[in-house]
């Protein structure tokens, strides 16, 4: 990286830390610190929600997923808009009327303290593991650029996020999220334009899409009923809908955003913004990966892009490069002739390229696609620095939200401190800051084990699939079953998580289906247990 690139990165990080620390001066009460005085407008909440979702995993992992597998992953998001509308009509009004500080505080009012403890503990485990994965993505990029150890980069990212999050509270989180979302989107657009510009003139954008479609990279709907298939319309309808209902309706990292809203209308507006924007954004990022795949037929990328080395993969580099260039030539021939025979020849050659890549690339290679391009193919007069700032923005906007929600739950639900008691304000702020540091250390420790993980966008969602369905089941019992009680709800929660483990072992389910199993089991067991087990 050039001096200009480093200046861009340093200025960005300095601005983020300064902006977060300045917000600390406006915190006077626990409500100010934990919920930004409940005065956040819809657009800021909506962008913060999107920024929390759009981590560096989205920037790096989703683009890499598009490069290796195409757009099939977008099916996961198809029913997100419907989930947002359902939550606008159900969960958002519930939480708005309750005026709680955490999602699990609401469950205590409905079921008692035992359910609150069980669900908040489940959230803490889930979110701490997820945060470790989220820390891993930018650390991989920084390690590739700087040459410093991956472990050192994990610690550096953690220190930056912990610093401004612990001092500024939710005001700092939302304020920086909005700005970081803007930086991330600008960075993605720049990378998109650069990749399209790098395509051969006789291929271009439309030609690249045509080649990708012929090679099976543009998949919009998979109607297979095979439960082992990762992404189908049916797994998205059942599993995807459930994970979005759970994520936006029961996960404190999301619920805390709209708890901070000025009004019910603002809270709904934040989710509607996500309903409108999320699917197009995810599809565009996957298409960026697909375009990188098409471009790599004319400027092949190595099989081994990171620091990993293997004699087998090194030996296969020449074969992979030759196959890629051959597929590129055949692709141009088909675009020029539009003949079926040329199309068949291109498809066969592109399949050979993918087979060699699959056999020769180490696990986690998808996570190295964007870093390799930035380091080896982009101009060094500030553009690389801006894209790196975009990845850091994506990472920090998620890390700060996760840390803040973890610390809030640990303080309010774990220690049972009352944010409405003005005499406890200093204790609440002290403990929340302390827990921010604690969870930063724990998640960094987990991230240190993930340097060779698979596609991070899948890893982070797979972690959630073990817990989210069961958590949603408890909230459904609270909202929909008036006869349900606390002991039965906890029984259902435990049964749901056990059923997910059992079903995965016996049926080898794709991860999206685990959410359906967890929710269904929790609701059924909880409802039945409420009729059989006494409340006390």
Which range in 17-21, 27-31, 461-465, 485-489 is most confidently predicted, on average pLDDT? 485-489
In the block, tokens 């553009």 appear at 383
CATH code, 115:
1.20.1730.10
Whether 407 shows a pLDDT value over 60: the answer reads yes
Whether 453 shows a pLDDT value over 60: the answer reads no
Question: Are 101 and 194 found together in one domain?
Answer: yes
Question: Are 291 and 146 found together in one domain?
Answer: yes
From CA 394, how far away is CA 399, in angstroms rounded?
Answer: 9
Residue pair 431/83 in contact by the 8 Å Cβ criterion:
no
Q: What confidence score (pLDDT) does residue 133 get? A: 82
Q: Is the residue at 365 inside a domain? A: no
Q: Is the residue at 434 inside a domain? A: yes
In the chain, what is the straight-line distance between the N-terminal and C-terminal CA atoms, in Å? Answer: 64
Question: Are 377 and 429 found together in one domain?
Answer: yes
Q: What confidence score (pLDDT) does residue 35 get? A: 87
Q: How confident is residue 320, by pLDDT bands cut at 50, 70 and 90?
A: confident
Q: Average pLDDT for residues 49-74, to the nearest whole number?
A: 82
Lowest average pLDDT, out of 288-292, 301-305, 514-518, goes to 301-305
Q: What is the pLDDT of residues 143-171, one digit of tens each?
A: 877 778 888 888 888 888 888 777 777 88
Q: What confidence score (pLDDT) does residue 476 get? A: 94
Share of the chain above pLDDT 70, in %: 93
Whether 454 shows a pLDDT value over 60: the answer reads no
Q: Is the residue at 364 inside a domain? A: no
Q: Is the residue at 152 inside a domain? A: yes
Question: Are 202 and 333 found together in one domain?
Answer: no
Whether 313 shows a pLDDT value over 80: the answer reads no
Q: What confidence score (pLDDT) does residue 208 get? A: 94
From CA 380, how far away is CA 87, in angstroms rounded?
Answer: 45
Q: Is the residue at 410 inside a domain? A: yes
Q: What confidence score (pLDDT) does residue 310 get? A: 58
Q: Which residue has the higher pLDDT, 455 or 196?
A: 196
CA 247 to chain centre: 11
Helices 103-111 & 252-259 angle (0-180, nearest 10): 90
From CA 302, how far away is CA 486, in angstroms rounded?
Answer: 55
The boundaries of the domain holding residue 487 are 466-536
Q: Is the residue at 459 inside a domain? A: no
Question: Are 15 and 142 found together in one domain?
Answer: yes
Mean per-residue pLDDT of the chain:
85
Q: What is the pLDDT of residues 236-275, one digit of tens each?
A: 888 888 889 988 999 998 899 889 999 999 999 999 999 9
Q: What confidence score (pLDDT) does residue 337 get? A: 92
Q: What confidence score (pLDDT) does residue 457 get? A: 58
Number of structural domains in the chain: 3
Question: Are 217 and 275 found together in one domain?
Answer: yes
Question: Are 491 and 520 found together in one domain?
Answer: yes
Question: Are 156 and 194 found together in one domain?
Answer: yes
Residue pair 34/408 in contact by the 8 Å Cβ criterion:
yes
With CA atoms as reference, report the closest residue to 353 among 325, 324, 373. Answer: 324
Q: What confidence score (pLDDT) does residue 213 get? A: 93
Beta carbons within 10 angstroms of residue 10's beta carbon = 12
Q: What is the pLDDT of residues 166-224, one digit of tens each?
A: 777 788 788 888 888 888 888 889 899 999 999 999 999 999 999 999 999 998 888 88
Q: Average pLDDT for residues 396-424, to the nearest whole number?
A: 88
Question: Which pair of structure tokens corresponds to residue 208?
Answer: 């690249």
Q: What confidence score (pLDDT) does residue 435 get? A: 93
Question: Are 293 and 221 found together in one domain?
Answer: yes
Question: Are 530 and 446 found together in one domain?
Answer: no
Neighbouring residues of 22: CB distance < 8 A, sequence distance ≥ 6: 168
Q: What confidence score (pLDDT) does residue 523 get? A: 95
Q: Is the residue at 460 inside a domain? A: no
DSSP conformational letter for 78: T
From CA 203, how far away is CA 499, in angstroms rounded?
Answer: 50
Please give the angle made by the CA atoms of 366, 227 and 491, to the nearest 5 degrees: 100
Q: Is the residue at 304 inside a domain? A: no
Question: Are 483 and 440 found together in one domain?
Answer: no
Question: Are 295 and 340 found together in one domain?
Answer: no
């Amino acid at each position: 990286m050039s001096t200009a690139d480093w200046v861009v990165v340093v200025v960005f990080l300095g601005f983020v830390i300064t902006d977060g620390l300045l917000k600390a001066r406006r915190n006077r009460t626990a409500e100010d610190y934990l919920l930004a005085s409940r005065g956040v407008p819809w657009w800021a909440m909506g962008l913060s929600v999107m920024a929390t979702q759009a981590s560096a995993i989205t920037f790096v992992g989703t683009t890499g997923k598009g490069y290796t597998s195409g757009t099939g992953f977008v099916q996961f998001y198809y029913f997100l808009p419907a989930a947002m509308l359902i939550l606008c009509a159900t969960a958002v009004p519930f939480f708005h009327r309750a005026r709680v500080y955490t999602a699990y505080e609401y469950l205590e009012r409905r079921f008692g303290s035992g359910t609150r403890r069980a669900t908040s503990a489940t959230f803490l485990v889930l979110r701490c593991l997820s945060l470790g994965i989220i820390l891993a993505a930018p650390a991989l990029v920084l390690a590739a650029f700087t040459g410093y150890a991956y472990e050192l980069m994990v610690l550096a990212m953690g220190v930056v996020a912990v610093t401004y999050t612990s001092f500024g509270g939710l005001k700092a989180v939302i304020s920086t999220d909005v700005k970081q979302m803007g930086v991330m989107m600008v960075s993605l657009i720049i990378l998109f334009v650069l990749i399209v510009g790098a395509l051969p003139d006789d291929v271009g954008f439309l030609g690249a899409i045509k080649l990708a479609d012929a090679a099976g990279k543009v998949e919009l709907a998979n109607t297979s009923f095979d439960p082992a298939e990762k992404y189908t319309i049916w797994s998205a309808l059942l599993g995807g809908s459930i994970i979005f209902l759970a994520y936006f309706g029961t996960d404190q990292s999301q619920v805390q955003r709209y708890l901070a809203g000025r009004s019910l209308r603002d809270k709904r507006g934040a989710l509607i913004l996500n309903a409108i924007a999320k699917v197009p954004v995810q599809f565009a990022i996957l298409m960026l990966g697909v375009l990188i795949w098409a471009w790599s037929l004319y400027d092949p990328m190595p099989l081994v892009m990171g620091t990993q080395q293997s004699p087998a993969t090194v030996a296969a580099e020449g074969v992979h490069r030759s196959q890629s260039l051959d597929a590129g030539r055949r692709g141009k021939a088909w675009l020029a002739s539009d003949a079926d025979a040329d199309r068949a020849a291109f498809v066969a050659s592109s399949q050979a390229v993918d087979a060699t890549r699959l056999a020769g690339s180490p696990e986690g290679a998808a996570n190295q696609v964007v870093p390799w391009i930035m380091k080896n193919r982009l101009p060094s007069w500030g553009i690389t620095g801006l894209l790196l700032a975009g990845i850091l923005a994506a990472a920090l906007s998620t890390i700060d939200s996760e840390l803040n929600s973890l610390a809030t739950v640990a303080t309010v639900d774990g220690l049972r401190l009352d944010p409405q008691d003005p005499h406890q304000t200093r204790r609440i702020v002290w403990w929340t800051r302390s827990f921010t540091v604690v969870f930063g250390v724990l998640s960094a420790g987990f991230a240190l084990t993930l340097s060779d993980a698979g596609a991070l966008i899948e890893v982070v969602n797979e972690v959630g699939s073990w817990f989210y369905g069961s958590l949603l089941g408890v909230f459904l019992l609270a909202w929909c079953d008036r006869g349900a009680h606390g002991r039965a709800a906890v029984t259902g929660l435990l049964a749901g998580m056990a059923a997910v483990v059992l079903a995965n072992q016996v049926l080898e389910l794709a991860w999206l289906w685990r959410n359906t199993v967890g929710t269904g089991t929790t609701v059924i067991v909880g409802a039945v247990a409420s009729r059989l087990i006494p409340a006390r």
